[in-house]
């Protein structure tokens, strides 16, 4: 038994309501179960119940055992003073308010059909990656699509929240925040952390001062990243070294210089080497006066794709690493890389920006962009395809990734419309 199951039972009223009474023997009528609260405070708000002849309006709190009220120190929290009903699986002790009055309690044990409880336990204890995989085909497509839509918005909300935290850290500076976000994405998964450290150590305003010189921007990036530590026979590397030494002294950067060992090359395709990504990042920064306005003013995927048309400098068209020529021409920033950065950085940025301005048009634009990009193809989308759910756009694939990672893997079946549909009493066998 867990609290999420009791939340589910209460929210959908899946229990026997005949001759309903509180544990103190008072006649109970549920007029409105309330609204599930995802923030701090009681579990349900705006509930309406009738106890005896008195109508009550307020909050509902959920626990497995009534003693959870004290274990969670609700008796010391004023936010719980307006709880009008305590819903528990089992009352193991009465609960009182600070004024000494007993909080009305509803015990659900004995009022829930055994097969509903068994089906829930069977679902969440299924060792498969997707708990409902054997029953997935039995769920109506409308319910599946609705859940994918919900998962996409959950994913965008989560990412937008993280962006707003970064924005607060940058004291409301959208430009600096965007620079750091884009930089972290250029590291992709393997070199994300070093890129974050680099953009924190090298402010965008400093890059902007030198954007007319690709050599100086590359010197700042490669130097601060720790790649420029000595002169060599490589003429280009020597130029970068000398330029960085001058700029590092001018802007007092040396104490923040990274160690080259922080950058990972192992098991990466040469096109994804951090040296190539840094060169491409430098090209992007030199190409635009303001990366934030350049992205936020785009109205379509095509415009954003054009924004990320990146051609690294001549040296990096024939080198993957310093001093080592490549056998052929090094590819530029490919379509899959553009799609990745637009999906994972630009789209959440639109959502965060729209929310901060209370302008939903940016959220709508973000969704439209996802719907215009082909579906991502990865291990997770293949799992869903095997179950019959074919992802057509990035909107679909982002929803399926979120559904897999934050619902299926966490066994949050009761927060999923698919799981809820399978657990409806009339579907349980």
Mean pLDDT by 10 residues, the chain (429 residues): 89 93 96 90 95 96 96 92 95 92 95 88 90 94 97 97 97 98 95 97 97 97 94 89 96 96 94 96 96 95 95 94 90 93 97 97 97 96 96 98 96 91 67
pLDDT at 426 (0 to 100): 56
pLDDT at 2 (0 to 100): 83
Q: Please, where are the H alpha helices in 61-140?
A: 68-71, 114-124
Residue 21 CB neighbours (<10 A): 14
pLDDT at 428 (0 to 100): 43
> What does the radius of gyration of the chain's CA atoms come to, in whole angstroms?
28
Nearest-angstrom CA–CA distance, 217 and 101: 69
Residue 212 CB neighbours (<10 A): 9
| Residue labelled with tokens 């209460």 | 10
Nearest-angstrom CA–CA distance, 224 and 228: 8
Nearest-angstrom CA–CA distance, 140 and 387: 13
* Long-range interactions of 70-77: CB distance < 8 A, separation 24+: 70/95
SS3 state at 424: coil
pTM of the model: 0.84
- How many degrees, rounded to 5, is the angle at CA 392 between CA 343 and CA 407? 70
Nearest-angstrom CA–CA distance, 206 and 217: 9
pLDDT at 1 (0 to 100): 77
Nearest-angstrom CA–CA distance, 121 and 113: 13
Nearest-angstrom CA–CA distance, 184 and 171: 19
Nearest-angstrom CA–CA distance, 242 and 179: 26
């Amino acid at each position: 038994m867990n609290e999420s199951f009791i939340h589910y039972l209460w929210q959908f009223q899946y229990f026997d309501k005949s001759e309903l009474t509180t544990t103190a023997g008072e006649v109970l009528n549920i007029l409105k179960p309330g609204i599930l609260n995802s923030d701090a405070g009681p579990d349900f708000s705006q509930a309406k119940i009738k106890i005896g002849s008195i109508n009550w309006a307020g909050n509902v709190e959920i626990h497995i055992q009534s003693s959870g009220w004290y274990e969670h120190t609700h008796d010391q929290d004023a936010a719980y003073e307006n709880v009008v009903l305590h819903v528990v699986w089992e009352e193991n002790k009465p609960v009182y308010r600070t004024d000494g009055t007993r909080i009305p309690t509803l015990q659900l044990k004995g009022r829930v059909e055994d097969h509903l409880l068994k089906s829930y336990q069977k679902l969440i204890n299924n060792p498969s990656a997707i708990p409902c995989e054997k029953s997935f085909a039995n769920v109506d497509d409308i319910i599946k699509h609705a859940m994918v839509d919900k998962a996409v918005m959950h994913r965008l909300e989560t990412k937008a929240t993280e962006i707003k935290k970064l924005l607060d850290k940058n004291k409301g500076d959208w430009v600096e925040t965007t620079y750091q976000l884009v930089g972290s994405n250029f590291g992709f998964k393997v070199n994300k952390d070093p890129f974050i450290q680099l953009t924190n150590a090298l402010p965008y305003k400093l890059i902007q001062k030198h954007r007319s010189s690709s050599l100086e921007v590359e010197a700042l990036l490669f130097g601060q990243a720790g790649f420029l530590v000595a002169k060599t026979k490589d003429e280009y590397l020597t130029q970068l070294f000398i330029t960085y030494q001058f700029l590092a002294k001018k802007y007092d950067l040396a104490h923040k210089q990274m160690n080259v060992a922080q950058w990972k090359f192992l098991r990466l395709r040469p096109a994804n080497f951090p040296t190539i990504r840094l060169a491409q990042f430098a090209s992007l920064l030199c190409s635009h006066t303001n990366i934030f306005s350049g992205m936020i003013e785009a109205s379509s995927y095509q415009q954003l794709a054009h924004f990320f048309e990146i051609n690294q400098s001549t040296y990096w068209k024939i080198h993957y690493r310093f001093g080592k020529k490549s056998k052929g021409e090094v590819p530029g920033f490919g379509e899959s890389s553009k799609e990745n950065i637009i999906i994972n950085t630009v789209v959440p940025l639109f959502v965060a920006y729209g929310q901060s301005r209370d302008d939903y048009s940016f959220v709508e634009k973000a969704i439209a962009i996802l719907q215009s990009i082909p579906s991502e193809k990865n291990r997770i989308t293949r799992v869903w395809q095997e179950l019959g759910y074919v992802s057509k756009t990035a909107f679909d694939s982002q929803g399926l990734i979120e559904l897999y990672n934050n619902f299926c893997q966490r066994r949050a079946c009761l927060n999923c419309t698919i799981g809820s549909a399978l657990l409806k009493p009339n579907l349980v066998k």
